[in-house]
Structure 1
Amino acid sequence: MSDPRSSSSADISADEELRLPRPPGVIRRFWARHPRIADALIALICLLLSLGANATFPDTAEPMSVGEIVFLSVVIVGASVLLMWRRRRPEIVLAAAIVVELLLLAMTGSTGAPMLTVAVYSLAVYRSTRMCWIGLGTSVLLVAALACGLLPGGAITVQQAINAGLATAIPSLIGALIGINVGNRKRYLEAIIDRSRQLLVERDQQAQLAAAAERDRIAREMHDIVSHSLTVVVALSEGAAATDDRERAREASTAAAATARNALTEMRSMLGVLRDGASDSPLAPLQAADPAEIVTAARQAGFAASLSVRGRPPETPALRLAIGRIVQEAVTNAMRHAPTTRMIDVRIDYDAAPIVIEVINDGAPGSPSEGGFGLRGLAERASLLGGTLVSAPAGEGRWMLRAELPHGEPSAGEGEPPSSPLLSDAAPTHSRDSAGAATTSRGDDSHDPVPGPVPETPEDTP
């Protein structure tokens, strides 16, 4: 069972966060904090007024017997006790008040007990306006019907019947109008408070979503920086350790140190943006990765890498960054997952519509392994720019990664990738590390495992 103190403290903290105004006045705050005392006081007042005004001084010509007085007093006391539950069970309180009114009319010839007014008021405040009007109309009609029934027998006079109807209708109507006003205001404030709490929850959810998106962007950047740089450093270090040529070992060690320094510079740039907390600063390195430098680093690591470029690079920073990261991840996967590769062919066509980035390498092993976060990050980058990404076997032991990115940044709300000769909007694109497990990317950033081998994609030279 939950601790009521913890739930109460949670409600208090939520109310404090909402900055709700305190009820004005000491007396009003006292009644708000002690509702049972208020109900007991109202029940006592109704009991005294009902007994004093009706049971003690009846209007009938013949005085009541002791038994009738006791019976009527017991009913009035019971109905007054039920007023303690007027907040939770106002319908029962109204029924008891109507019974008291009818008994008073039949036994004393008069009505107007205050508990009916309190019952109608409670019905309007704690239930609804509609139920209040129904309760008011029912009580007035029942009293009027009983008064009309007592007139032919001479139990009451016409004047007494009129007085009984007015004594029932007027105070009950006043109580209904006041209750409707108070009840509508109470429900309106509850709706405002509930909406405010919903806004607080939505604000926290938006903050959590923003934090999750920020973590994803940080993880994507860290992976792109660290993974590629460490792969190049490892390859250069192994080459330096394997060769007997001191000059070549020295060049490999120098290249490894330069790669590590570049990685540190990019990490400092990214961490500096995070530390400054500038909301208008993009979470990206100061300079996009250059495909030519990536291919040069692969050559220095001992891989036969080539680069073919057609057209001029775009001016959009996000597009240039995405192209550099795609080439970087594809070359890194080839160096890491296909160590027997003899060629890494990088082709970029800036003049095509959309822009085509294609990286083909050989030496891909036949059995796929567990996939990582690299291609998932690339699929997210391509999806954010309205593009597509496919990574799959190309036949004859080769692996191909192909990305198509539209020129310029997509407009707000543009989530579907454009159609292309290779990829259709209706069909998912398959992504896989150079020897990794396949994933599915649809442009809505969904990545579902694809069991079994991925069908071979024919090579398409731009």
Structure 2
Amino acid sequence: MVVTVPRVSGQVRDALAAAALAVCAAVAAAVWPEVRPLDAPGLLLLAGVHAPLAVLRRWPGRALASLVVLALPYHLLQYQHHALVPAEVIALFGYAVLGRRVRVVLSVVALLLLTCVVGMAMRAGGGSVREQIAVIEGVVAIAIAVQVWRSHRARVAAITERAERAERTREQEARRRVAEERLRIARDLHDLLAHSITLIGVQAGAAAHLVRGDRPVDRGELGEALASIAATCRDARTELRGTLQVLRGADGGPPEVLPGIAGIAGLAEAARAAGLTVVLDDEGAGTPPPEVGVAAYRIVQEALTNVVKHAAATTVEVGLARDGDRLAVRVADDGRGPAGGSPRGFGLLGMIERARSVGGTLDAGPRAGGGFTVTALLPVADVGSVTPR
């Protein structure tokens, strides 16, 4: 048979401990009296000093105040002082651990104890006063030590909290960097693959139309279509290799050169192979910083991809020119424009992010007389100080 022992609550344990400490203090005061032997009033004061210890864990401030109020007359009446030292030390230590406004409260307690010393000095003399002062000094020393311990504990807690906050900040920064890197990878792959696949699809469709047509197959025309597909595949492979080398940080061999404004002529040629009439004006572009050149290339690439896929246009104008300390990039077509007046999908969002990554802006919308226009303004001065977003 299993016997279940009822559990004793914490408050009951505290009350029992306070009662046991009061009995020990009463025995000490009776066996080693000082100026005044322990009588009935002294016994009541001694028991009253120990009573607040039963609720110290629950109400530390009230318990300490009650203990001080009862301890002062006990000391002033010249009862055995040493008997109360354990209770006073426990009350001070408990308040230091559990209470609020510890420094102010302990300062008030020290002032009251000093008042008690002055009162005892006026009622007794000689060695008794020195002993009383020694007892009070011991209690005050304990109070100071507890305050030092509390301050050290608070300082350690503050240091720990700062370290945890710094760790959380590092984790948030790492997550932010991962999110930005994922966004950049997605943007690069979208710009590269969407453009190449669109051109390959258009060129393959033209080759299929030549093969299925009623007239005899023009081998030269078919060869040009297939050669355009092969060239687009080579360009896509080169760009993909360069992008992967940048992402991997590969050390084996020189990395592929990332595209810049010099590659925009190739984009125009590829769009012409897809059946568009492309008018390119890049004589006023100059030589912008590499990151601005890459952003301009990607914006033109995505804009031309949208024209080929959605605009049903015949002519597209691509212009690059300096506008003060900015590079103006403009792509305008004569097509029908996107359904609903604004493009859908990730293309426009990617172009906006490209422009913002170098501190620029991008606007896109229908043009007067039909068609669609994409205009980007990219800074060409102090670009290195811009933090990519």
* TM-score, normalised relative to structure 1: 0.67
Partner of 2:106: 132
1:184, 1:41 → 2: CA distance?
A: 31
**How far off its partner does 1:104 sit?**
3.3
Q: What runs of 5+ residues in structure 2 fail to find an aligned partner? A: 1-10
Partner of 1:50: 25
Partner of 2:378: 405
Residues 411, 285 of structure 1: CA spacing in aligned structure 2 closer, same or farther, 3 A cutoff? closer
**How far off its partner does 1:78 sit?**
2.8
Q: Does 1:364 align with 2:339?
A: no
**How far off its partner does 1:166 sit?**
2.5
1:270, 1:276 → 2: CA distance?
A: 10
Residue of structure 1 aligned with 2:277, choices 304, 314, 328 = 304
Residues 62, 193 of structure 1: CA spacing in aligned structure 2 closer, same or farther, 3 A cutoff? closer
- CA deviation string 1:216-275 (max 9, x = no partner): 111111111011111111111222222333433342233223313322332233223333
Q: Does 1:97 align with 2:70?
A: no
Residue of structure 1 aligned with 2:149, choices 175, 182, 193 = 182
Partner of 1:344: 316
Partner of 2:133: 166
Partner of 2:7: none
- CA deviation string 1:273-306 (max 9, x = no partner): 333478xx99x96343711111111111111222
Residues 132, 108 of structure 1: CA spacing in aligned structure 2 closer, same or farther, 3 A cutoff? closer
162-171 or 322-331, which deviates more? 162-171
Partner of 1:28: none
Residue of structure 1 aligned with 2:192, choices 218, 225, 235 = 225
Residues 358, 145 of structure 1: CA spacing in aligned structure 2 closer, same or farther, 3 A cutoff? same
**How far off its partner does 1:337 sit?**
1.7
The one-letter code matched in structure 2 to 1:200 is E
1:319, 1:119 → 2: CA distance?
A: 71
1:383, 1:390 → 2: CA distance?
A: 12
2:249, 2:328 → 1: CA distance?
A: 36
5 Å-filtered alignment, 1:24-423, equals 47=22, 50-59=25-34, 64-65=39-40, 71=44, 74-75=47-48, 77-82=50-55, 85=57, 89-102=59-72, 104-105=74-75, 109-112=79-82, 113-114=84-85, 115-124=87-96, 127=100, 128-141=102-115, 143=116, 162=129, 166=133, 169-243=136-210, 244=213, 245-247=217-219, 248-276=221-249, 286-288=258-260, 290-311=263-284, 313-314=286-287, 316-339=289-312, 341-350=313-322, 353-365=325-337, 367-368=340-341, 371-410=344-383, 412=385
* Secondary structure at 1:174 match in 2: helix
2:323, 2:67 → 1: CA distance?
A: 87
2:108, 2:77 → 1: CA distance?
A: 26
* Alpha carbons 1:47, 1:80 under 8 Å: kept: no
**How far off its partner does 1:204 sit?**
0.4
CA RMSD of aligned residues (A): 3.8
* Alpha carbons 2:49, 2:71 under 8 Å: kept: no
Residues 173, 76 of structure 1: CA spacing in aligned structure 2 closer, same or farther, 3 A cutoff? closer
* Secondary structure at 1:395 match in 2: coil
**How far off its partner does 1:80 sit?**
4.4
374-383 or 164-173, which deviates more? 164-173
* Alpha carbons 1:120, 1:136 under 8 Å: kept: no
2:81, 2:109 → 1: CA distance?
A: 17
Residues 410, 369 of structure 1: CA spacing in aligned structure 2 closer, same or farther, 3 A cutoff? closer
- CA deviation string 1:49-103 (max 9, x = no partner): 52332255545767635xx6874564355344445x2xx7432342243244246
* Secondary structure at 1:396 match in 2: coil
**How far off its partner does 1:207 sit?**
0.4
2:15, 2:141 → 1: CA distance?
A: 22
**How far off its partner does 1:406 sit?**
2.7
2:48, 2:250 → 1: CA distance?
A: 72
1:123, 1:240 → 2: CA distance?
A: 89
* Secondary structure at 2:64 match in 1: helix
1:338, 1:176 → 2: CA distance?
A: 83
* Structure showing the higher helix proportion among its residues: 2
* Alpha carbons 1:51, 1:76 under 8 Å: kept: no
**How far off its partner does 1:110 sit?**
3.7
1:163, 1:91 → 2: CA distance?
A: 30
Partner of 2:6: none
Identity of aligned residues (%): 28
* Alpha carbons 2:359, 2:386 under 8 Å: kept: no
* Secondary structure at 2:287 match in 1: coil
* Alpha carbons 2:22, 2:47 under 8 Å: kept: no
- CA deviation string 1:290-326 (max 9, x = no partner): 1111111111111122212224641521122112112
* TM-score, normalised relative to structure 2: 0.78
* Alpha carbons 1:116, 1:172 under 8 Å: kept: yes
